[in-house]
Amino acid sequence: MSIDNLPPLREVIATHELSARKSLGQNFLLDLNLTAKIARQAGELTNCDVLEIGPGPGGLTRGLLAQGARRVLAVEKDARCLPALAQIAAAYPGRLEVINADALALDPLAHLTPPIRVVANLPYNIGTELLVRWLTPPAWPPYWQSLTLMFQREVAQRIIARPGSKAYGRLALLAGWRTDARIVLNLPPEAFSPPPKVSSAVVHFTALPVPRYPADAKTLEQVVAKAFNQRRKMLRSALKGLAPDIEDRLLAAGIKPTQRAETVGLEQFCALARQIKKT
């Protein structure tokens, strides 16, 4: 049984000639049972506005609406997808708003009413950038309650990585600082059309009411980006330039200047961000 009375996604793609474009990170989900399953991972949607980035032909959008989302705001860069999305909007009157825009350039808040959840099968080329933006607004809690996002599996593993592991870095620190993040679904390449080269995973992030440790978001982001940019170097060299007396600040944060970034935990990185922000 279909989750709605709309045509199957293969037919939608054929009718609207939506051949996938690599430059837009287009790997479409065609199985509506799977998109409904992803939508269920987002939690209770009936009282929420959902922000979806990159709806494409609308498989996940249909999953979200069928799961009872109060409203969906779908931001899609590719104008070719608009007629297919208009058909979905007509099937769910007043519940789907589509904006033809670049998600990196749009402030979605003007179009949303809290509580808000974000759910997306992200275009891989902008996924990390969007995630870092969602995790690093100056004030916390953010406008969203949760993020349910598809990433390449390797990126998902970096998000949930523990200190000391190879995958540990900027993403794990920023996610761990202000959210609870876990992998809720693994998907093989064949789940998509066309199949990408790598496997994927859905990560669910719940916003914590307050960050685990105090720190200025911008400073913390700069510190961890620089620290892991040269992850094999000792921190006193990797962070040179951030502050003239970087060794003293590292010591004040409880970090040995000779330590490498991957051995430093979240609490110490937050302490270091506070030491650096002092100037």
Under the criterion CB under 6 A, does residue 24 sit at the interface with ligand SAM? yes
Under the criterion CB under 6 A, does residue 126 sit at the interface with ligand SAM? yes
As measured in angstroms, the least distance from the Cβ of 78 to ligand SAM is 4
Distant-in-sequence, close-in-space partners of 243: CB < 8 Å, separation ≥ 6: 249, 275, 276, 279
Q: Pick the closer one to ligand SAM by CB: 116 or 187.
A: 187
Residues 50-109 that bind ligand SAM (CB under 6 A): 53-56, 59-60, 75-78, 81, 102-104
From 21-29, 206-214, 236-244, 249-257, span contacting ligand SAM (CB under 6 A): 21-29
**Main-chain dihedrals φ then ψ at residue 160, nearest 5 degrees:** -100, 10
Q: Pick the closer one to ligand SAM by CB: 60 or 250.
A: 60
As measured in angstroms, the least distance from the Cβ of 110 to ligand SAM is 16
Q: Pick the closer one to ligand SAM by CB: 1 or 79.
A: 79
The CB density around residue 22, as the number of other CB atoms within 10 Å, is 11
Residue 93, amino acid: P
The CB density around residue 166, as the number of other CB atoms within 10 Å, is 10
Q: Considering only residues 96, 98, 118, 123, which one is a binding residue for ligand SAM as defined by CB under 6 A?
A: 123
Is the separation of the CB atoms in 259 and 235 below 8 Å? yes
Q: Pick the closer one to ligand SAM by CB: 77 or 178.
A: 77
Q: Pick the closer one to ligand SAM by CB: 45 or 75.
A: 75
Under the criterion CB under 6 A, does residue 152 sit at the interface with ligand SAM? no
Both tokens of 39, joined, read 């939508």
As measured in angstroms, the least distance from the Cβ of 23 to ligand SAM is 8
Residue 128 and residue 253: Cα distance in Å, rounded? 28
As measured in angstroms, the least distance from the Cβ of 13 to ligand SAM is 10
Residue 243 and residue 153: Cα distance in Å, rounded? 36
Strands 28-29 and 192-193: antiparallel
Q: Pick the closer one to ligand SAM by CB: 19 or 229.
A: 19
Q: Is the torsion defined by CA of 97, 99, 102, 107 positive or negative?
A: negative
As measured in angstroms, the least distance from the Cβ of 55 to ligand SAM is 5
As measured in angstroms, the least distance from the Cβ of 58 to ligand SAM is 7
Under the criterion CB under 6 A, does residue 250 sit at the interface with ligand SAM? no
Total residues contacting ligand SAM by CB under 6 A comes to 23
Which DSSP letter does residue 234 get? B
Residue 162 and residue 121: Cα distance in Å, rounded? 25
**Main-chain dihedrals φ then ψ at residue 136, nearest 5 degrees:** -125, 35
Residues 199-218 that bind ligand SAM (CB under 6 A): none
Is the separation of the CB atoms in 40 and 60 below 8 Å? no
Strands 179-187 and 200-207: antiparallel
Interface residue list for ligand SAM (CB under 6 A): 24-29, 53-56, 59-60, 75-78, 81, 102-104, 121, 123, 126
